[in-house]
Amino acid sequence: DAKKLVRSPSGLRMVPEHRAARSPFGLDEPPWVPDKECPRCMQCDTKFDFITRKHHCRRCGKCFCDKCCSKKVPLPRMCFVDPVRQCAECALVSQKETEFYDKQLKVLMNGATFFVTLGTSDKSELMVCRLSNNQRYLVLDGDSHYEIEIIQISTVQILTEGFTPGGGNTRAIGMILQYKVPGSEEIAQMKFTAGEDFSCNRKLSASWLAAMHKATKLLYESRDQ
């Protein structure tokens, strides 16, 4: 998908030429709190004057003093080219998201192998599941081929095993995915189960499922914006 470089008050952004092509995990830039409505820092309540200048967090749009909004952190969900100024709270969130973009997104794109069961069928098919390079589709390849648009996903339930009453470690072994069928209000379901044999690489499958769990959280946040 073609992209273009745009400049906003917050900084340079590399965005898709068409809004419909943007990542489903993306966030829009927030409106800035107007200067006239912000006589004091919205974190420490320091009064702004000629010496104490106002700064806006690029993630939440609120107004802060330099001390409370000094960190410049990457913000890939808003497509910023360079790290941008953020308040301490937003910077912490963005730093955690950077790990998803640097590591877990690559895991999703590389894919993993699962037994996939459609609806209430008692038959499953061995398929390679991966996220498309433009982040907009979940692609399943086996004897059959499916492409599920990420924005059509309604729920994702990660299936685990290994839980003990004492709080033992759990391991992801599959997931149940529900999504809207394009052109209708029908909800379809798929169940993904990691294979038992070595060739399916259960460790890789568990890593893929953990990344999918994080991706789902970001997807829900983008919808709630």
Q: How does pLDDT run across 142-195, given as a tens digit for each residue?
A: 999 999 999 999 999 999 887 655 555 777 889 999 999 988 889 999 999 987
The C-alpha atoms of residue 47 and residue 109 are separated, in whole angstroms, by: 48
Between the CA atoms of 210, 214, 217 and 218, what dihedral angle is there, to the nearest 10 degrees?
Answer: -150
Average pLDDT over residues 70-81: 94
Domain span at residue 195 reads 111-224
The C-alpha atoms of residue 150 and residue 100 are separated, in whole angstroms, by: 17
Residues 127 and 38 occupy one common structural domain: no
Residues 98 and 161 occupy one common structural domain: no
User: What CATH code is carried by the domain that includes residue 11?
Assistant: 3.30.40.10
pTM: 0.82
Last residue of a domain, one of 55, 73, 107: 107
Residues 63 and 88 occupy one common structural domain: yes
Residues 66 and 126 occupy one common structural domain: no
Q: Within 10 A of 40 (CB to CB), how many other CB atoms are there?
A: 15
Half-sphere exposure of 109 (CA within 13 A, CB side): 12
pLDDT at 196: 66
Amino acid (1-letter code) at residue 24 = P
pLDDT digits (tens, 9 = 90+) for 13-36: 999 888 878 889 989 999 999 999
The answer to whether residue 200 scores a pLDDT higher than 60 is no
User: 65: buried, middle or exposed (CB in 10 Å: 19+, 13-18, 0-12)?
Assistant: buried
